[in-house]
């Protein structure tokens, strides 16, 4: 069947040949393990049960997880195998289950959740490059959306991900996510039970983009939508885009942070010492699976 699950809408029959994302129909997964380094309402004290799916529909040139997003490292899981892994994660006491860059596998994930639905908030961790039609398949399934909002201009989308339509899709997608979940709801433990938490990674040389995106969030998304402002960009690949070969400067970070504070957006600011390659998880080891 012609795949149109993501905005690339490449129409590949993935049963016989992979599409733009390079993925067949079976779930390919790079890591399943507790993960402590998401935002506090997702990770809490014990971590989120993170399922890192292989491949990506956006494939940013600067991706810090290129081994799995560009090169599709991982191993095949059946719905039954993933269901069993989710049970093991829940038994470890994680607060939430995070499905990370999972869009190409939505049909298999829905099969998995038919077998067993974790009694924990289900988090959809995404680049934000989603179609509204595909997100509607998740309506009533996903409790918490954790989307990135990366680029405002078509120029930045094209340069950084070959996706000049990134903002067109992501802006509609985030509004659909907010419609589905309603306002953020937290438990007494501070863990998000429902809602949307928007992430934005500041890129060196692109602070004007960051500021436009933060203003768009304030003007468009429901009041109280939390934002996580991240500064950990670390050059990892041979990136040809000017400026992306360095970290974000202190001056750039302060400029964007001050804009977020002036807009009175609630949320999180990342600590300076997170801007280090040491924080990037290592994938494709046997120890990567619970
Ligand atoms: S999920 Fe993959 S195969 Fe499907 S439309 Fe997107 S890039 Fe093409």
CATH of the domain at 182: 3.20.20.70
Residue from 23, 58, 127, 163 whose mutation best tests the ligand 1 pocket (most atoms within 8 A of CB): 23
**Separation of alpha carbons 225 and 212, rounded Å:** 16
**Domain for residue 216, yes or no?**
yes
- Structural domain harbouring 240: 27-288
Please give the tally of structural domains in the chain. Answer: 1
Full-model pTM: 0.94
pLDDT(279) > 80: no
The answer to whether 86 touches 120, Cβ cutoff 8 Å, is no
Exposure string of 14-46, with b = 16+ CB inside 10 Å and e = fewer, is beeebbbbbbbbebbbbbbbbbeebbebbbbee
**Domain for residue 6, yes or no?**
no
191-220 tens-digit pLDDT: 999 999 999 999 999 999 999 999 999 999
pLDDT(112) > 70: yes
pLDDT(58) > 60: yes
**Domain for residue 101, yes or no?**
yes
Residue from 57, 72, 126 whose mutation best tests the ligand 1 pocket (most atoms within 8 A of CB): 57
Q: What is the model's pLDDT at position 1?
A: 84
Q: What is the model's pLDDT at position 37?
A: 87
**Domain for residue 225, yes or no?**
yes
**Domain for residue 231, yes or no?**
yes
**Domain for residue 232, yes or no?**
yes
Task: Determine which of 9-13, 67-71, 110-114, 200-204 has the lowest per-residue pLDDT on average.
Answer: 67-71
Q: What is the model's pLDDT at position 288?
A: 81
Query: What is the percent of the chain with per-residue pLDDT over 90, rounded to a whole number?
Result: 82
Residue partners of 188: CB distance under 8 A and separation at least 6: none
Residue 158: exposure state from Cβ atoms within 10 A (0-12, 13-18, ≥19)? middle
Q: What is the model's pLDDT at position 240?
A: 78
| Euclidean distance between the first and the last CA atom of the chain, given in angstroms as a whole number | 33
Q: What is the model's pLDDT at position 271?
A: 67
Q: How far is the CA of 192 from the centre of ligand 1 (A)?
A: 30
Q: Output 286 or 61, whichever has higher pLDDT.
A: 61
Q: What is the model's pLDDT at position 107?
A: 97
Q: How far is the CA of 250 from the centre of ligand 1 (A)?
A: 38
> Which tokens hold the place of 247?
């970290």
**Domain for residue 161, yes or no?**
yes
Using pLDDT thresholds of 50, 70 and 90, give the confidence band for residue 277.
Answer: very low
Provide the mean pLDDT of the chain.
93
CA dihedral of 16, 17, 21, 24, whole degrees rounded to 10:
30
Ligand 1 binding pocket, CB closer than 6 Å: 3-6, 8-10, 12, 14, 19-21, 23, 57, 104
């Amino acid at each position: 069947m012609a795949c149109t699950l993501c905005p690339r809408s490449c129409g590949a029959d993935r049963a016989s040949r992979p599409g733009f994302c390079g993925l067949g129909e079976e779930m390919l997964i790079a890591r399943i393990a507790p993960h402590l380094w998401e935002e506090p309402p997702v990770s809490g004290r014990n971590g989120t049960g993170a399922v890192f799916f292989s491949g990506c529909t956006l494939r940013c040139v600067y991706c810090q997880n290129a081994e799995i997003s560009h090169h599709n490292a991982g191993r095949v899981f059946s719905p039954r195998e993933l269901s069993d892994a989710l049970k093991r994660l829940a038994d470890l006491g994680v607060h939430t289950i995070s499905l990370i860059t999972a869009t190409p596998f939505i049909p298999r994930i829905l099969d998995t959740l038919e077998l067993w639905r974790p009694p924990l908030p289900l988090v959809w961790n995404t680049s934000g490059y989603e179609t509204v039609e595909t997100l509607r398949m998740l309506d009533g399934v996903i409790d918490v959306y954790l989307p990135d909002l990366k680029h405002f201009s078509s120029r930045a989308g094209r340069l950084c991900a070959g996706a000049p339509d990134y903002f067109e899709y992501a802006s509609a997608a985030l509004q659909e996510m907010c419609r589905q979940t309603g306002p953020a709801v937290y438990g007494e433990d501070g863990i998000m039970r429902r809602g949307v938490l928007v992430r934005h990674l500041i890129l060196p040389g692109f602070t004007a983009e960051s500021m436009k995106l933060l203003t768009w969030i304030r003007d468009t998304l429901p009041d109280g939508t939390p934002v996580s402002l991240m500064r950990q960009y670390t050059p990892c690949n041979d990136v040809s885009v000017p400026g992306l070969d360095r970290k974000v400067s202190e001056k750039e970070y302060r400029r964007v942070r001050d804009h977020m504070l002036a807009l009175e957006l609630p949320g999180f600011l990342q600590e300076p010492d997170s801007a280090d390659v040491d924080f990037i998880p290592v994938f494709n080891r046997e120890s990567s699976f619970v």
